[in-house]
Structure 1
Amino acid sequence: MGEATAFQIIKSKAKKLKLEAFVLFFAYKDSRVAWYAKLFAICVVAYAFSPIDLIPDFIPIIGYLDDIILVPLGVWIALKLIPDEVVRGCRAKAEELISKGKPKNWFMGILFIALWIVCGIWISWYCYQWLLS
């Protein structure tokens, strides 16, 4: 019974985190949000929805630390930067979107993968140049 309860708590927290990521996505589009809050929010959303992690999940224990610590911390900081009335309105939009079923956005998925590939190529090029010098 204890394991089922712990699993339910974790599942509930994951759903809430997913909702908050959508809140940040909608807040990014709101004109009442400062530019620095928009920038931070979109970085958090991009990282949360990106298929590639800073620390790969196959690394035992440490691989999930970014999902457990970095994403919730980023969401919390981003929500603190956004005005409360904007957060309330965006939360209502996010709840409506999730209740209808989250749409799949293949364009954004391809964009994130392309971004990671470009970053990998740039880092590889930089390391190659460093080794030559």
Structure 2
Amino acid sequence: MTGSIVLDVLIAIALGMALVWLALVIVLVVVRPRGGLLREALRVLPDVLRLVRRLAADKALPRGVRVRLWLLLAYLVVPIDLIPDFIPVLGYADDAIIVVAVLRSVVRRAGLDAVRAHWPGTEDGFAAVVKLTGLPPTR
């Protein structure tokens, strides 16, 4: 292409990363919560972050679940996002969408009882988390 193997490899890597980023943005748009669910996700986000930290520290949970939670916390701490925060609505929504997606997988793997035991917020907040994770409501 350019005559330099190193430059060709760098261009290929940059194009590959751009395609992966685009694919992730498309996935975020597809799996985003509908209607008022995104608003609820943003409302309970502080309690969910405390929940994630507590679950990640729980040695009784499977290692895979804890690893997912620590990776989620690392993603949230790193200032580089899939969608920059200065983009209206989607900038902060990508964090909420990723938290919901990871939490869905954690709840399905670890069980709702583990999440309930570590939930730091109100009953209404917990009901919103159950709704966001797509699980049937409990009692």
| TM-score, normalised via structure 2 length | 0.48
By percentage of residues, which structure has more helix? 1
